[in-house]
Amino acid sequence: MADFADDASAVEELQRNAALSAHRINRDAVSAVKCEECGDRLPEACRKAYPGCTTCVSCQEEWEILIRQGRG
């Protein structure tokens, strides 16, 4: 019979696997050619490194700062 610690461990593993799956990069995603925010062209290196990207590095940094500050 499983005890409380076994149940908690199973739940933790499920949550960890779900979180990891959510953060995996979809290599088949198509990246934008231009930034959706400012319209600048996205460098080919960024488009290959981050498939599915839609913003340039500068706009992404600004967005992440706003998120951390709770204003995004």
Burial class (CB in 10 A: 0-12, 13-18, 19+), 57: middle
Count of domains observed in the chain: 1
- Asked if residues 62 and 44 have their Cβ atoms less than 8 Å apart, the reply is no
Q: Which domain holds residue 17?
A: 4-68
Tens-digit pLDDT profile for residues 4-32: 777 888 889 888 887 777 677 677 788 89
Tens-digit pLDDT profile for residues 41-52: 999 999 988 888
Query: Residue 1 above 80 pLDDT?
Result: no
User: Model-level pTM?
Assistant: 0.57
